[in-house]
Amino acid sequence: MADFMGMMKQAAQLQQKMQALQAELDQVEVEGSAGGGVVSVRMTAKNDVKDVKIDASLLKPEEGTILEDLIVAALADAKRKAEAAAQEKMQALTAGLPLPPGMKLF
C-alpha cells in the first residue's frame, strides 16, 4: 500500500509540474523563417503566432503567390522549432520517471 501512496504522490507532483510547464511554454518563443529570411514568423511553443515579418522586396503584386508560399514555409519552420522546444522542456520534466516508450503527456 505504501508503494501505491508513493505513486499517487508522484502523480500529483507530476501534475503540478505539467501545469507549470504548460504556463512556461506560453513564454517560450521561437522564430521560423523562409526564403533566406525574407519572411519570418514568431510563435510560442504552444503554436500561438505572435508576429509575421515580410521583407519589403516581396511586396509586389506579381509576387503574391511566392509570398503566400513563404509565409506557409515560415509557419511550418516555426512550428517545428516550437515542437522541439516543448519536447526539450518535457524531457527535462520527465527525466527519471518510469514512463513507457513513446508515451506523450501533452
Q: Can you give the residue range of the structural domain that contains 75? A: 27-92
29-85 residue pLDDT tens:
889 998 999 988 888 888 888 888 888 888 888 888 888 888 888 888 988 888 888
CATH number of the domain encompassing residue 67: 3.30.1310.10
Length of the chain: 106
Q: Is the pLDDT of residue 19 over 70?
A: yes
Residue 17 located in a structural domain: no
Residue 78 located in a structural domain: yes
Cα separation of 15 and 24, whole Å?
A: 14
Q: Is the pTM of this model over 0.75?
A: no
Domain count, the chain: 1
- The pLDDT score that the predictor gives to residue 36 is 93
Q: Which residues pair with 42 in a beta bridge?
A: 31, 51
- The pLDDT score that the predictor gives to residue 83 is 86
Cα separation of 84 and 78, whole Å?
A: 10
Q: How confident is the model at residue 16 (pLDDT cuts 50, 70, 90)?
A: confident
